[in-house]
Amino acid sequence: MKNIDLKFPNSFIKDNKGQGAVELILIIGGIIVIILLVVSMYKSYLVDLGSEIDSNEIN
């Protein structure tokens, strides 16, 4: 049987090409999560605001 070398190649460890893209994706994902949390916390306020605007437009 052949011996299998399970060590990572040096080129894989030193490869930083996708690091910037991954960091950008993580930042954008974090911002989206924060926005979703804020919207879910203020959901009742936003719904009431919409109905208040509709009632003021009718009168």
Predicted confidence (pLDDT) per residue in 12-59, tens digit: 666 677 888 899 999 999 999 999 999 899 888 877 877 777 776 665
- Stated pTM of the model: 0.56
User: Given a cut of 70, is residue 4 above it in pLDDT?
Assistant: no
Q: How far apart are CA 37 and CA 58, in angstroms?
A: 32
What counts of helices (H) and strands (E) characterise the chain? 3, 0
pLDDT recorded at residue 58: 62
Structure-token match 């690091």, residue found: 19
Pick the more confident residue, 24 or 9. 24
